[in-house]
Amino acid sequence: MLFISIAALCVLLLSAALPWVMNSGAALTLNAIDLAEWTSLYPAVMGEAIPMSTTLLLRLPFVYAAAVIGFGFNRARILRALLVIVMTLGLLPPFEFLGAFDNPNYRQQALIAILTLIIGLIGAAGIGNGFRPAIVTIASVLGLFAVLIGVSRGLMFMQELRLSPGIGIGAVLAVGAFGVLAVVYGYKQLGQRHSRHPIAHQSNVEPV
């Protein structure tokens, strides 16, 4: 189980750097961060019922990945904390944010970075031992749906521009990795519940 969890996490982290959406033009072959940034510039995204919800969906998988890193393992706390910090640095908005607090895209980037850092470090600190498998299971399921919905919306917006986009290998790997993690930690959570509440099998003895 541990090997499968580590392998799935490595695939998940690698998937962010691989193409999530592919077009015939190399300039519009985008990884996770680039696709989120592209959608933030698309006018229809600001007009959504929840403004920039598509962009948010494409950024939330990083928060869920931090939850997996923090809560999914018990060893190498310092290494996991460092990994979360490195992820956070990669999610920070540009320095222009310091003079443009009214920019909704920058604010969302800052929020995602803060959530990634807080959730990842809380998990790496060993907090919530009794609920760690459940937290990872929920985060993995949410991450899976965030990728599916976010990418599908991104593809729809590109089709509105008469492009011919396709799903990239990065998105496929992200969905697969989140799915594997959800199954592994869901199974672990069930095992934990059974160990806490064992079923006593008593023989049927008639009272004297």
pLDDT in tens, 161-172: 998 899 999 999
Give the pLDDT score at 198.
Answer: 58
Q: Which residue has the higher pLDDT, 208 or 184?
A: 184
Residue 202 has pLDDT above 50, yes or no: no
Name the band, by pLDDT with cuts 50, 70 and 90, for residue 205.
very low
pLDDT, mean of residues 88-106: 90
What does R_g of the chain's alpha carbons equal in angstroms? 20
In the structure encoding, which two tokens stand for residue 100, read together?
A: 């443009």
Q: What is the pLDDT of residue 167?
A: 96
What per-residue confidence (pLDDT) applies to 195?
66
| CA distance readout (Å), 18 to 29, 79, 109, 167, 205 | 9, 24, 20, 11, 64
pTM score of the predicted model? 0.89
Q: What is the mean pLDDT of residues 14-25?
A: 92
According to the model, what pLDDT value does residue 190 have?
A: 87
Please list, in sequence order, all residues whose beta carbon lies within 8 angstroms of the beta carbon of residue 88, skipping any fewer than 6 positions away: 66, 113, 116, 117, 120
Span 99-155, pLDDT tens digits? 878 899 999 999 999 999 999 999 999 998 889 999 999 999 999 999 999 999 999
Whether the CB-CB separation of 139 and 64 falls below 8 Å is answered with yes
> What percent of the chain clears pLDDT 70, i.e. is strictly above it?
91
pLDDT greater than 50 at residue 204? no
Where are the chain's structural domains?
Answer: 2-195
Instruction: Give percent of the chain above pLDDT 90.
Output: 74
Residue with tokens 């919306």, as numbered in its chain: 153
Identify the pLDDT of residue 199.
53
Strands 166-167 and 21-22: antiparallel
